[in-house]
Amino acid sequence: MNILLLGYGKMGKIIGEIAESRGHSIAGKINIDNREDLDKLDPKSIDVAIEFSQPEAAFENISWSIQRQIPIVVGTTGWLEKKAEVEEMTLTNNGSFFYASNFSIGVNIFFKVNEFLSKLMNETDGYQVSVEEIHHTAKKDAPSGTAITLAEGIIKNLKSKSSWNLKGEQESSDQSVEITSKRIDPAPGTHIIKYESPIDDIEITHTAHSRQGFALGAVLVAEWIPSKKGVLSMDDFLSF
């Protein structure tokens, strides 16, 4: 396949290396310094786009791809206030749009463990749940998209919770899942779910050791998506 890389920072470079090691070609490497090169590309020569740029560039990159019938795989977070608009654009153009807050297979298993645990916690009282995420200092958005997905999984399954808040920005409430964000180098990503009570604590943790798992997952999805249409997610890819 010919893969267009939208965003060529640390993640984009690893994705490119993995894609080429799997026999694919890179149709273009677009970042903030050469954004004007995007319109010089022939859309018909591109099989799929992988978008790992910055929150402020994501919507424009996604729109460009969908309007040109290029399937797009998106891992950039921090732009989701426009996700509903992208989904409508995808359906209107009969396009292919895949978003995941995290492409690691291990993290997506962790999402399911988190949801299962939150269901179990409906059967007991006295625990307060929280989410903590730790990333490298170059990560601009907080909380991480993965932390938001984890909080949403808790809210969906734990009857006592109806919202989430970022510690330090909003006042927490009994109905809210509080997220703590820390930026510490060189952490590629750690996420902790903790249920605390006066009697004991229950804690589950996912720790990434490198960006390789995220990048490989994105390439695997890129290999899968060309024959698909519509708004897609990791649940579709993994058949959870």
The pLDDT of residue 240? 57
CA 48/CA 62 separation, integer angstroms: 11
**Residue 110 and residue 204 in contact, taking contact as beta carbons nearer than 8 Å:** yes
Rounded to the nearest 10°, the torsion over CA 238, 217, 41, 232 is 20
Please, what CATH class does the domain formed by 105-207 belong to? Answer: alpha beta
The pLDDT of residue 200? 97
Q: Which homologous superfamily does the CATH classification assign to the domain defined by 2-103+212-238?
A: NAD(P)-binding Rossmann-like Domain (3.40.50.720)
Catalytic residue among 139, 167, 194, 228: 139
Kindly report, residue by residue over 176-223, the tens digit of the pLDDT.
999 999 999 988 899 999 999 999 999 999 999 988 999 999 999 999
The pLDDT of residue 18? 97
Catalytic residue among 24, 135, 161, 206: 135
Nearest alpha carbon to residue 108 among 13, 218, 187, 3 = 218
The pLDDT of residue 138? 85
The segments of the chain whose pLDDT lies below 50 read none
- For residue 118, give every residue at least 6 positions away whose Cβ sits within 8 Å of its Cβ, in sequence order, or none: 129, 153, 154, 156, 157, 158
The pLDDT of residue 214? 92
Could you tell me the residue ranges of all domains in the chain? 2-103+212-238, 105-207
Is 40 marked active-site?
Answer: no
- For residue 33, give every residue at least 6 positions away whose Cβ sits within 8 Å of its Cβ, in sequence order, or none: none
Is 139 marked active-site?
Answer: yes
